[in-house]
Amino acid sequence: MVPIFIMPLKDTDKPNYLQWHTIIFTALQTVGFYFSAYVLYPRFLLKKRVAAYVLAILGISFFFALVPGCIMVIAGELPWYAIFAGIVVKIFIGLFVFGTATSYRFMVDVMQTERLQKETLTMELSFLRSQVSPHFMFNALNSMVSLARKKSDLLEPALLKMSNLMHYMLYDSDEEKVSLHKEVEYIRSYIDLQTMRFGDSVKILFMVQPGNYSHIIEPMLLIPLIENAFKHGVNVAEEPEINIELAVAEKEVSLSVSNKTIAYTAQVADKTKGIGLTNLERRLKILYPGKHQLAAQKEGNWFHASLKIVTHD
């Protein structure tokens, strides 16, 4: 519609949009718009052939500007020496239309790229979440096997506890976000299950600092550090101990996990991080880019891991 309103008015009672030369010019510019967006842009600009693209636009704009005048000369409505009348305005109109076509195609490509990236990240996140459940099942079933071998009376309550954990994993963790309170209850149930398995042979301390636990976070983000502590902290030579501390601030969730270890266990942990921590690192990069801190270090016979997350507004 741009050429109709920008084209110079002729000495006629008809408005611009009813003058046939304006209609022809507008139709040509419409064709040029889509030709530039879907032919010239991908063939020249995307291939860094800027000079060829500019020359093509200038040539087409000049040609489109001449067409209405040539037709009017042929129809006898205009003398041949007036064929270039208003051509400068028409060329600038054409350049404006082609420039708009370039901007349009660029924005379309940007939006498509962003959508594809978002879809790719969503698919990857879904895959990473799907890995968490089998990883948990592997660890939890080891606990059940251990209790079964001991013929412990705790096997039945442990199975009930595991049932609660599975309920959370199947229904709550499928949501995009859950309340931090639910995540804490899940962690507490997991620790209770491990306590049933190891009894007094492992000293377990779980501290939840007072605070507002109504924050919402992505599910199953805190448990990998705790699972890792049980995986590498219960096979130490003597007096295994695991300390877990969770705290919240206005927009921050902090988890600190420490466990006793030995040199062999540390080496194994360094060589094979396991699915849990590798999975956690990747999910944090997707969900909290630039808004998380994940650290791990060994001090003497202790292994310390910490996670801080700046929660979304």
Q: Do residues 157 and 109 both lie within one domain?
A: no
- The pLDDT score that the predictor gives to residue 153 is 75
Q: Do residues 275 and 157 both lie within one domain?
A: yes
Q: Do residues 165 and 305 both lie within one domain?
A: yes
One digit per residue, pLDDT tens: the chain, 313 residues? 666 666 555 545 555 555 667 778 888 888 989 999 899 888 888 888 889 989 998 998 888 887 877 777 776 666 666 667 667 878 888 888 898 899 999 998 888 888 777 766 666 656 555 555 565 667 677 777 877 887 777 777 777 777 777 777 666 656 677 888 888 888 888 888 888 777 788 889 999 988 888 888 888 788 888 888 888 887 776 788 899 999 998 888 999 999 988 755 444 444 445 556 777 888 888 888 888 899 888 888 888 999 999 886 5
Q: Is residue 142 situated within a structural domain? A: no
**How many CB atoms are located within 10 Å of the residue 257 CB?**
25
- The pLDDT score that the predictor gives to residue 199 is 78
Q: Do residues 95 and 163 both lie within one domain?
A: no
Q: Do residues 205 and 96 both lie within one domain?
A: no
Q: Do residues 282 and 224 both lie within one domain?
A: yes
Q: Is residue 124 situated within a structural domain? A: no
Q: Is residue 293 situated within a structural domain? A: yes
Contact 257, 169 (CB under 8 A): no
According to DSSP, residue 254 is labeled E
Q: Is residue 143 situated within a structural domain? A: no
**∠ at Cα 85 (32, 81), nearest 5°?**
120
Q: How far apart are CA 200 and CA 179, in angstroms?
A: 32
Residue where a domain terminates, one of 55, 85, 113? 113
- The pLDDT score that the predictor gives to residue 266 is 44
Q: How far apart are CA 110 and CA 298, in angstroms?
A: 45
Question: Domain containing 226 — which CATH number?
Answer: 3.30.565.10
Q: C-alpha distances in angstroms, 127 versus 20, 136, 166, 224, 228?
A: 60, 15, 18, 16, 20
- The pLDDT score that the predictor gives to residue 5 is 60
Q: Do residues 81 and 156 both lie within one domain?
A: no
Contact 308, 253 (CB under 8 A): yes
Q: How far apart are CA 76 and CA 273, in angstroms?
A: 85
Q: Do residues 306 and 157 both lie within one domain?
A: yes
Q: Do residues 86 and 181 both lie within one domain?
A: no
Q: Do residues 71 and 194 both lie within one domain?
A: no
- The pLDDT score that the predictor gives to residue 255 is 93
Tell me how many domains the chain contains: 2
- The pLDDT score that the predictor gives to residue 244 is 93
Strands (E), the chain: 178-179, 203-208, 216-217, 241-248, 252-260, 292-299, 302-310
- The pLDDT score that the predictor gives to residue 267 is 46
Residue where a domain terminates, one of 85, 113, 141? 113
Q: Is residue 164 situated within a structural domain? A: yes
Q: Is residue 128 situated within a structural domain? A: no
Q: Do residues 170 and 96 both lie within one domain?
A: no
Name the token pair of 61: 């704009």
Residue 109's region, left for phi above 0, alpha for psi from -120 to 50, else beta, is alpha
**Segments forming the whole domain that contains residue 76:** 2-113
Q: Do residues 178 and 302 both lie within one domain?
A: yes
Can you give the length of the chain in residues? 313
Q: How far apart are CA 271 and CA 69, in angstroms?
A: 78
Q: How far apart are CA 197 and CA 212, in angstroms?
A: 31
- The pLDDT score that the predictor gives to residue 271 is 45
Q: Is residue 123 situated within a structural domain? A: no
Q: Is residue 135 situated within a structural domain? A: no
